[in-house]
Amino acid sequence: MHFYGTAAKNAQGHLTIGGVDATDLAEKFGTPLYVMDEALVRKNCRAYVQAFKDYYPDAEVAYASKAFLCTAMVALVEQEGLSLDLVSGGEIATALKAGYPMAHTYFHGNNKTVEEIHLALKSGVGRIIVDSVHELELLNLEAGELGITPKIYLRLNPNVSAHTHHYISTGQLDSKFGIPIEMGLAMDATRLALSLPNVALTGFHCHIGSQIFDVEGHRLAASVMIKFLADVKAATGFVTTELNLGGGLGVRYTAEDTPKRPGELIKVQTDSVRAACAEYGVPLPKLVVEPGRSIVGEAGTTLYSIGTVKEIPGIRTYISVDGGMGDNIRPALYQAEYECVVANKVDAPAEKVVTVAGRYCESGDKLIIDAKVADNVDTGDLLAIFTTGAYNYTMASHYNRYPKPAVVFVADGNADLVVRRETFDEMAAFDLIPQRLQPKVAR
Ligand SMILES: *Cc1c(COP(=O)(O)O)cnc(C)c1O
């Protein structure tokens, strides 16, 4: 079994994370429970920061909030000196609530509403990443009315396909994200941006996808972007000073996954930028990257209580847990794979092959197909699924009206609640019964 970060096992054969026994976490906070290994999050943040110190000091690391966000995460990111990448009004509001310095934020989104644009302008986000010509014109109008001139990047589509599942690949030409460099579309948008009075074009952005192991896509994207900066300089005289290369580094979910380390990615990207700047004759821009998954993915573990154990002789054994697609949609959404351990039986031989099923009313609600678990797995045991730190809590739903689980940060033997568990009352708290449904019919 693979232990991530501070995960280990103690003398009782229990899983520990951040020096805290998983069975104590389950008892104190209930299940399902998201557990975040704070030391590993910090280590991942520092790996990016250090890589830039080593290879390319004029740079900024912006954590991509959509991977995992709550106010404590904002505070942690701020402590580590990272900037923040935000994609919605709700994410902006969370950063504001945590008192984050908004000048260090990057605001994305392929279909920002007028309300979100207002919120971004009024809250002073550092850069607005404009995704389309429509948005460019809208932003220019709204900014003019507010008398604000936001610094903007244009998000470009470099037509580089990342080797990853097509649902999470964004850099190919046929994508809803970004303005294609092909067909002169990005150049047209650049000319327009330079001509508009109420936006200050400051740089360009691309993001080619997520859960990427082969960094050749990143190498190519960096050089395609620099070539574009050179074309812009030649065509308009505009010298670009900032370039945002997005996120996308993969993490380990199972033994088949062999992700590159942050330092390896940053080396490839910065080498590519330097080489292309020399080749095309443009000055080195300030670089920004936006890692999400590779900051929090491996740092998260979800704890579940095992309920029903159902053996269909000769077919399959299902162990059902008290969570599922409501707290982790990724297996149902794109066949994502995970590893697990029976957290109170870490020492037991683990040769029993089972399917870990959720409690939601969908046959597709299976968290792991053919997981190997402790031979003596039983009702009442605690199951830990690893690498659930990214795109789990942030994608959680209320399907079947199950409340969203709590989130705890663990570090140095301490466990602190950072998101409390929702209650049944809260599930119905937003519901209203209109007047015409009020008279009750006797029966
Ligand atoms: C999702 C996203 C990221 C983060 O991607 P990861 O794969 O989680 O590193 C970065 N930038 C943009 C624009 C994104 O949409």
In this prediction, residue 442 carries a pLDDT of 84
| Residue where one domain finishes, among candidates 261, 291, 321 | 291
In this prediction, residue 41 carries a pLDDT of 98
Token duo for residue 34: 């998201």
66 lines ligand 1 (CB under 6 A): yes
Q: Where residue 4 falls among pLDDT bands split at 50, 70, 90? A: very high
403 and 339 inside one domain: yes
Identify which of 217, 129, 224, 223 has the alpha carbon closest to the alpha carbon of residue 168: 217
The model's pTM is: 0.96
The closest-lying atom of ligand 1 relative to the alpha carbon of residue 291 is 9
Distance in Å, CA 293 to ligand 1 centroid: 8
In this prediction, residue 378 carries a pLDDT of 97
The CATH number of residue 350's host domain is 2.40.37.10
In this prediction, residue 163 carries a pLDDT of 62
Domain membership of residue 49 (yes or no) is no
In this prediction, residue 164 carries a pLDDT of 55
Q: Where residue 441 falls among pLDDT bands split at 50, 70, 90? A: confident
155 lines ligand 1 (CB under 6 A): no
In this prediction, residue 440 carries a pLDDT of 81
What angle separates helix 133-146 from helix 185-195, to the nearest 10 degrees? 10
136 and 267 inside one domain: yes
How many whole angstroms separate alpha carbon 290 and alpha carbon 268? 15
Task: Write the pLDDT tens digit of every residue in 316-351.
Answer: 999 999 999 999 999 999 999 999 999 999 999 999
254 and 325 inside one domain: no
Q: Where residue 168 falls among pLDDT bands split at 50, 70, 90? A: low
Which phi and psi (to 5°) does residue 417 adopt? -70, 130
How many whole angstroms separate alpha carbon 251 and alpha carbon 44? 11
Domains identified in the chain, total number: 2
- Is the confidence at residue 443, as pLDDT, over 90? no
The 8-class DSSP code of residue 239 comes to: P
In this prediction, residue 87 carries a pLDDT of 98
248 and 122 inside one domain: yes
Q: Where residue 175 falls among pLDDT bands split at 50, 70, 90? A: confident
Distance in Å, CA 6 to ligand 1 centroid: 25
142 and 260 inside one domain: yes
How many whole angstroms separate alpha carbon 238 and alpha carbon 248? 29
DSSP string, 287-312: EEE--SHHHHTTTEEEEEEEEEEEEE
Distance in Å, CA 350 to ligand 1 centroid: 35
399 and 326 inside one domain: yes
241 and 358 inside one domain: no
Domain membership of residue 87 (yes or no) is no
The closest-lying atom of ligand 1 relative to the alpha carbon of residue 211 is 7
- Is the confidence at residue 285, as pLDDT, over 60? yes
Q: Is 103 exposed, middle or buried (0-12, 13-18, 19+ CB in 10 A)?
A: exposed
In this prediction, residue 423 carries a pLDDT of 97
The closest-lying atom of ligand 1 relative to the alpha carbon of residue 246 is 11
282 and 330 inside one domain: no
Domain membership of residue 66 (yes or no) is no
Q: What is the mean pLDDT of the chain?
A: 96
C-alpha distance across the termini of the chain, in Å:
59
In this prediction, residue 420 carries a pLDDT of 98
257 and 358 inside one domain: no
- Is the confidence at residue 165, as pLDDT, over 60? no
Domain membership of residue 151 (yes or no) is yes
- Is the confidence at residue 435, as pLDDT, over 80? yes
287 and 303 inside one domain: no
Instruction: Name every residue whose Cβ is closer than 8 Å to that of residue 82 and which is 6 or more positions away in sequence.
Output: 45, 48, 49, 61, 62, 63
Domain membership of residue 61 (yes or no) is no
108 lines ligand 1 (CB under 6 A): yes
Domain membership of residue 305 (yes or no) is yes
22 lines ligand 1 (CB under 6 A): no
| Residue where one domain finishes, among candidates 263, 291, 319 | 291
Domain membership of residue 207 (yes or no) is yes
**For this structure, is 45 an active site residue?**
no
Q: Which domain holds residue 351?
A: 8-36+299-427
Find how far residue 305's CA is from the centre of its chain. Answer: 26
Task: Write the pLDDT tens digit of every residue in 343-395.
Answer: 999 999 999 999 999 999 999 999 999 999 999 999 999 999 999 999 999 99
Which phi and psi (to 5°) does residue 165 adopt? -60, 140
The CATH number of residue 194's host domain is 3.20.20.10
Q: Where residue 147 falls among pLDDT bands split at 50, 70, 90? A: very high
113 and 261 inside one domain: yes
DSSP string, 399-442: GGGPPPPEEEEEETTEEEEEEPPP-HHHHTTT----GGG-SPPP
Mean pLDDT in residue range 219-237: 97
- Is the confidence at residue 166, as pLDDT, over 70? no
Distance in Å, CA 127 to ligand 1 centroid: 16
Task: Write the pLDDT tens digit of every residue in 96-127.
Answer: 999 999 999 999 999 999 999 999 999 999 99
238 and 360 inside one domain: no
Domain membership of residue 280 (yes or no) is yes
> Lowest-confidence range among 158-167, 339-348, 428-437?
158-167
* Mutate-to-test residue for ligand 1 from 45, 63, 66, 287, highest number of ligand atoms within 8 A of CB: 66
